[in-house]
A = this chain, B = another copy of it.
Amino acid sequence: MSVTTPSAQLTVQKLLQTLPQGLTLLQGSNDAIITEIVPPDKSHATALVFASEKALFDTAKAKGFGALCIPTSLQKHVSDNGKDTILVYKDLPQTFAALFPLFDKPVQNFSDSKFPTFVDPTAKLGKSVAVEPFAVIGRNCIIGNNCRIGSHCIIEEGTIIGDGTILHGHVFIGRNTKMGANCIIHANTTIGSDGFGFARQASGAMSKIPQLGIVVIEDDVEIGANCAIDRATMTETRIGRGTKIDNLCHIAHNCKVGENNVLAAGLFIAGSSQTGNFVTTGGGVMIADHVKITNQVMLAGKSGVTKDIETSGAYGGYPLQPLKESLKNIANIGNLTTMRKQLHRALKALNLEEEEK
């Protein structure tokens, strides 16, 4: 039994047409029927299966399949009678990105489309906007065509959202946010909360600095679940076109995240920092405030950035260093006790005191 819902019935020919540059038929039938994508150990007679290494290839063979997708490197293992349908892919992620949409049945949460919602009469909704149960759309909002506004979403006054954007359930969009087209925002994410700005009074108490700015999300941005992106103090917090942000990330006020960033879960960017284009981060990266990171920077998981990064490349660690150096230095933390003992013996052999007199 597969855990995915069968969502399609299509032929191998359809797969080849979908990715003409990236997928070729090595042997077998254009007309083989495919009903779903499964991993090798769940394969069956109408399954499309990917095997990136020999062991998975063997598993799929043993189970049977509708079509088997392999890299060039596994072609030499295809030694059967030619009846099996075998496809060769060039690039696995590209192939997933091209073929998976064929099997991704759109969510259909409700049997019909009449829901209790609260849309302010001044809000303007485009064509074919799905507003799910209990969603709230405030005064003077403008929602583009073909958007999906998930259940319980809150869109505060003056927000503009481009065509084709999807908000999953429980998304909060603060007033005057500008969001582009074809964005995807996952559940329980907050966009446009107040930036964290206060002035310490003589008494020691903090006075709030109202946050007058907004958040701007450009086109094709995806933001994971349970993230928080703060509005700017005066101007805008901006997420650049095509950037993808994972779950539980925090982006503070006045930040400017560049285009086509890929930012893994647990990223914390403090106020007014900037990333260039094509920046990627591993999990749990922390970026201090007022830091500027140039284009094409890769930050390893758990790294901490406290200064500008002016040269493209891979970095890691805290303190941040070029990745290779950082990996060696981090590994050597594991040798510290040994090093200290060695050092003690060296000092003793030299008749030197632990502390300089």
Contact = CB atoms under 8 A, between A and B. Distances in A.
Interface of A: 3-5, 7, 36-39, 42, 91, 93-94, 96-98, 100-101, 103-104, 107-111, 115-116, 118, 120-122, 132-134, 136, 138-139, 150-152, 154, 156-158, 168-170, 172, 174-176, 178, 184, 186-190, 193-194, 196-201, 204-210, 212-214, 216, 220, 222, 224-228, 230, 232-236, 242, 244, 246-248, 250, 252, 260, 262, 264-266, 268, 270, 277-278, 282-284, 286, 288, 301-302, 304, 317-319, 321, 325-326, 328-343, 345-347, 349-350, 352, 354-356
A282 to B, nearest CB: 8
A187 to B, nearest CB: 4
B352 A346 contact: yes
B168 A170 contact: no
Given A235-B4, A252-B265, A96 B228 contact: no
A349 to B, nearest CB: 5
A278 to B, nearest CB: 6
A156 B109 contact: yes
A204 B103 CA distance: 25
Given A118-B133, A196-B224, A204-B277, 5 more contacts: A97-B199, A108-B139, A172-B225, A265-B270, A335-B336
Contact of A266 (B5, B268, B277): B268
A109 B347 CA distance: 70
Nearest to A194: B186
A236 B196 contact: no
A212 B50 CA distance: 14
A222 B4 CA distance: 25
Nearest to A94: B199
A343 B317 CA distance: 22
A38 B220 CA distance: 28
Q: Is the interface of A mostly helix, strand, loop or mixed?
A: loop
Contacts of A194: 184, 186, 224
9 contacts: A37-B234, A108-B139, A110-B157, A154-B169, A184-B208, A247-B252, A301-B304, A321-B334, A346-B352
Contact of A247 (B193, B236, B325): B193
B339 A318 contact: no
A339 B325 CA distance: 13
B190 A226 contact: yes
Contacts of A337: 325, 328-329, 332
Given A3-B216, A100-B210, A340-B332, A247 B270 contact: no
B172 A187 contact: yes
B339 A346 contact: no
Contacts of A172: 168-170, 187-188, 225
A42 B334 CA distance: 47
A268 B284 contact: yes
